[in-house]
Structure 1
């Protein structure tokens, strides 16, 4: 490892330039780990984070997979011990914690040796039956390619192989106290306009890490709280995520007003809907979109703040997904992006290293001249990306933009999982659309039976797992299955049928490669359901728990590739006929119009003449609802596909979901139970099958 005087000199220079010092040192664990621990012991005043095995007692251990616990925390030194594994997600997330003047130190085997080794830290990314200790993926080799093009100190045992190109010191325009930057001052002014300006004009505040976004919330609250008698509320995915804003508020606001800025957890906020002059939502991209939409309806003055980069676990899809909703419902909304770093300077080598090596730099291809050009279909597998890193950058950027949960581990999966492939639609070497595919199934019959009996779960075989266990079809798990994990189209080219065009090529690809079924699983909405149904995918299962990130229920759909022995239509018919009987217990919050779209009319016996007469009497207000509700349910089960959608939705809410009259009145803006019944009675009076003369 580097000699201690040299390291001390480098750190002093990094501190003077307000940058973090990235060092990658290759060699043997027996040599490098003791030297590192000795240096840390001699510098025990430094706050040290340690990622990987064999951490010294004074270090805080960084746990892979718990990235959000790192938000708002800082360290002087981050040591990454990569000798026994390299977790891409954890490395990217923890790097944001290093202070200016701090050290980012990666200890690893010799590059030529490391790129040929297995990576046990990525076991969770590999499907059955792959074993990470025996499998050699391509992520490490790819990451080393990117690393060696970056501005980073690289050493090998006692030899310095690459020095740092030290950036010039950036002179940042000084902002008046209490602001750290002019960006932050501008953000506080924008927040002030949310409180004092027109209602229903929310602010979306975005930034990469270290730009003072959360602090701006606290500063603004401190300056504005005396202007109103109502409290300010801040919510976030966790109390820790709101701690910075609250601390800045308490540092600046008078003590007697400290109780005027309150943290309220998301679930409590939804249930109680307390009054607030201004609602702050920090790390908004990590909160389910339907919840954000509910809060947008309930509160007229809101500030949404979020980190946009994928290493926070949310991806940049929030920018597209939720802001499309804002365009429709709050056309006067405003967005502000904070660019100037606070904890380190703009040209920080570590930030540039992380962005470049994990492909977190968003690419925006010029598409205006490509729409009429000849398009081509290409297929890529894990081994192809080493030769085409620029194409991987395009694909990963598009996936990140289209899906709000894209993370660095998804990049690692593309390179390490040989069962993943990407099909792209391209024009002049530019990706217009892409789909991520997972080859699954081919499970041994005995193992498929164990899944069926609930004795085993297999990683990476979502389609086979669901077919064997939830759909009670273990023999289908032994078939060759292809799942469309994600499909994405460049935002400027959406609604031009490119996604459907790509699905057509995926269909041909599946048949050419002898897959028995195509499948997909996604957070269901009416628009997405229509998209997949148009491609002849059939719904066969709806998950019983809403996704924590999207708030949506996961729908599994299937499309047959080989007609012989096809069971997809049978599974779909069973699912669609059973769904109405399940919604009261399992899907009380699912949108009624979506339930109708997913359901099929039931083959229950028709109503008798006497029963139809009871419904006619109800339509004439000569029978109470309570006396005919069971008959109305049978009638509705036969007719819900032909009823006007809004009235059908109220009947779903009552008959299937068993909502209260009050809830239905609120949801559909009706004046109580009598108004709801009046609408139903008018509907029944129009049904020729139950009309009769008194």
Structure 2
């Protein structure tokens, strides 16, 4: 087919896509020079308002996307998206941007011939590869995997100027007849449900779930406009301002300019620090916000609507469904859920959506694994080279990893296939994955480089344990050891609390021993429950980061366990860390007291004298002021904190070790002012600090 005829055919297909309310996915193979010329000709023929471009050689009127914009893309739209894959294929960005293409839009992938492409290096995945791998020469497996998935997809495939696969056009679908501005009956029901949250009982939050393109964000904006007209003040938050863009745009289109200040976007971290009140809080793309943050928002606001992508690029929707909604059921028994099934941006059978879900493993598994405790289980180890022959198992593992961690993204799938230093170890029964761990093989850093890392002159990608041990802990010799880092542990939600995670850790330790690994380690956002899990497995805490994660407000903790190495060195490091942390507690104002009590070792104090005990007895009787005996309570608590009930120890920990002021502690623990808190402290001293001690 001549190029002129081909371009005319593509024009016609775009018009047909517009009539059917779908996007047109086109994969065009050939040489870079010819395809870029043909693309320029195509762009001159078709009408578009906004053009997104991934990769090199973007035209002047295009918005050139980069990997840093993934979450910012949520909620934005374009008419045409061109992916120039000749210089690399960024799986994460390709998956994120696909949802931006509007109905009638063209999704155009320019690439080398498939057989050639899957044998090339992929520089776009450089950030996924550990030192010393070179992305310019390393051949991973992701492109080959993606092309294998492509074989079953409904897309247009062009070789040079010949169409080798045409689109199987879906049947036309008629939309519901509902009053504007709603488009479907489901969206209309969602708007009504949002309005009811404001008029109904307090503490009855609403969860609206849907795949992308179902109009859930628009429903937020429509409802907000109606509420603003009624004089209500609303706040909206999301993972980024761009993620709330669709909701805000619909609100502003439907509202007079004078009412635009009735809906304000506030980042969720700022919202949690503020004392702002609102008639209704809207949380868009809630699945991309960590569960601990959502829980805090739920406590902070009595009328709240969560809109969540059920699955899709975020890869977290089902985790939101299983984790946060369980919490909702406990805290707010009257909460409601509404699911929007019908697509709005494009029709239900949209081929680009199907390609995105299938190519990046974003579908949910139909059924959870079933575990019989009395039946045997098996363990399996998978590396990057194994996945091409076991794509169903890869889908199962990636789905489980997405459930377990809110930040799992498509780049994690790409890393599984491209990074040979990643391995997955699983527990399976009846060929179904019950639990799995993602492990990064690190360390073995040569001596000179380890010294440079120690001096802060070099950093090495993909070696978090080695980097931390050499630089932060001043142990460059440990960076030269063989290290395994457990990046994630995921257990099927219905099978948790059955020791599967502990069994998995035990098997990992066996494997590490057999392969002469010196140390096993992990780094994660510290919570009291997670810390106890790792301590039960005899891992030692070595370092606590001094800044919290922007999303979860958790400090990152690093823990290590000697496997074939002598444990003396890390035992000494752990002891030193516990003592140093006590001294540096003022650097961790957001560290929860339960964690402080688990992590720190206070200095040894001399036994209290009889005179000191007498002073404390007078305080317990209300005859001495707190300010005059605080230092004595401090010394006593250092010695006996482990004997106190947990709740009481936390209060004294906040006051004495973290040096929080009385008003702050009173508010945190629900006391009616400083006097009631001091009465509590006095009672604790009276009960637990006896003269015979």
Same fold (TM over 0.5): yes
Residue aligned with 1:385, SS? helix
Q: Please give the per-residue CA displacement for 1:336-356, whole angstroms capped at 9, x wherever unaligned.
A: 222211111000000000100
Q: Residues 392, 456 of structure 1: CA spacing in aligned structure 2 closer, same or farther, 3 A cutoff?
A: same
Q: Please give the per-residue CA displacement for 1:588-623, whole angstroms capped at 9, x wherever unaligned.
A: 122111211222343344444444443333333333
- 1:68 partnered with 2:64: no
In the aligned structure 1, how far is the partner of 2:145 from the partner of 2:374?
Answer: 34
Cα pair 2:316 2:403 within 8 Å, conserved: no
| The one of 568, 573, 576 aligned to 2:575 | 573
- 1:160 partnered with 2:169: no
- 1:624 partnered with 2:617: no
| The one of 127, 142, 145 aligned to 2:145 | 142
In the aligned structure 2, how far is the partner of 1:645 from the partner of 1:280?
Answer: 36
State the Cα distance separating 1:665 from its structure 2 match.
1.2
Match of 2:652 in 1: 651
- 1:342 partnered with 2:368: no
In the aligned structure 2, how far is the partner of 1:311 from the partner of 1:255?
Answer: 34
- TM-score, with structure 1 as normaliser: 0.95
Match of 2:86 in 1: 83
Match of 1:224 in 2: 227
Q: Please give the per-residue CA displacement for 1:132-182, whole angstroms capped at 9, x wherever unaligned.
A: 001111111111101112111112112222111111112333322221111
Cα pair 1:236 1:265 within 8 Å, conserved: yes
| The one of 233, 236, 243 aligned to 1:234 | 236
Q: Residues 628, 515 of structure 1: CA spacing in aligned structure 2 closer, same or farther, 3 A cutoff?
A: same
Match of 1:351 in 2: 353
In the aligned structure 1, how far is the partner of 2:179 from the partner of 2:677?
Answer: 59
- 1:93 partnered with 2:114: no
Q: Residues 486, 250 of structure 1: CA spacing in aligned structure 2 closer, same or farther, 3 A cutoff?
A: same
Q: Residues 609, 447 of structure 1: CA spacing in aligned structure 2 closer, same or farther, 3 A cutoff?
A: farther
- 1:175 partnered with 2:178: yes
In the aligned structure 1, how far is the partner of 2:257 from the partner of 2:94?
Answer: 40
Cα pair 1:310 1:316 within 8 Å, conserved: no
State the Cα distance separating 1:84 from its structure 2 match.
0.7
| The one of 202, 206, 210 aligned to 2:205 | 202
Residue aligned with 1:434, SS? strand
Residue aligned with 1:686, SS? helix
Residue aligned with 2:272, SS? helix
Q: Which structure 1 segments of 5+ residues have no match?
A: none
Q: Residues 41, 417 of structure 1: CA spacing in aligned structure 2 closer, same or farther, 3 A cutoff?
A: same
State the Cα distance separating 1:258 from its structure 2 match.
4.0
Q: Which structure 2 segments of 5+ residues have no match?
A: none
Q: How does 1:366-445 map to 2 (within 5 A)?
A: 366-368=368-370, 372-445=374-447
- How many residues are paired up? 690
Match of 2:662 in 1: 661
In the aligned structure 2, how far is the partner of 1:237 from the partner of 1:143?
Answer: 28
Cα pair 1:425 1:434 within 8 Å, conserved: yes
State the Cα distance separating 1:315 from its structure 2 match.
5.6
Which deviates more, 440-449 or 368-377?
368-377
State the Cα distance separating 1:254 from its structure 2 match.
5.4
Which deviates more, 252-261 or 496-505?
252-261
Q: Residues 78, 257 of structure 1: CA spacing in aligned structure 2 closer, same or farther, 3 A cutoff?
A: closer
Cα pair 1:310 1:407 within 8 Å, conserved: no
In the aligned structure 1, how far is the partner of 2:456 from the partner of 2:612?
Answer: 44
- 1:297 partnered with 2:306: no
- TM-score, with structure 2 as normaliser: 0.95
In the aligned structure 2, how far is the partner of 1:373 from the partner of 1:115?
Answer: 42
- 1:118 partnered with 2:121: yes
Q: Please give the per-residue CA displacement for 1:240-260, whole angstroms capped at 9, x wherever unaligned.
A: 333322332233345654443
Match of 2:556 in 1: 554
Residue aligned with 2:389, SS? coil
| The one of 108, 112, 127 aligned to 2:111 | 108
Cα pair 1:288 1:551 within 8 Å, conserved: no
Which deviates more, 310-319 or 169-178?
310-319
In the aligned structure 2, how far is the partner of 1:380 from the partner of 1:291?
Answer: 34
| The one of 3, 28, 31 aligned to 1:28 | 31
Residue aligned with 2:675, SS? helix
In the aligned structure 1, how far is the partner of 2:565 from the partner of 2:479?
Answer: 17
In the aligned structure 2, how far is the partner of 1:315 from the partner of 1:196?
Answer: 28
In the aligned structure 2, how far is the partner of 1:292 from the partner of 1:370?
Answer: 34
- 1:311 partnered with 2:277: no
| The one of 525, 528, 531 aligned to 2:527 | 525
Cα pair 1:24 1:152 within 8 Å, conserved: yes
Cα pair 1:65 1:89 within 8 Å, conserved: no
In the aligned structure 2, how far is the partner of 1:188 from the partner of 1:582?
Answer: 50
RMSD: 2.1
In the aligned structure 2, how far is the partner of 1:45 from the partner of 1:394?
Answer: 39
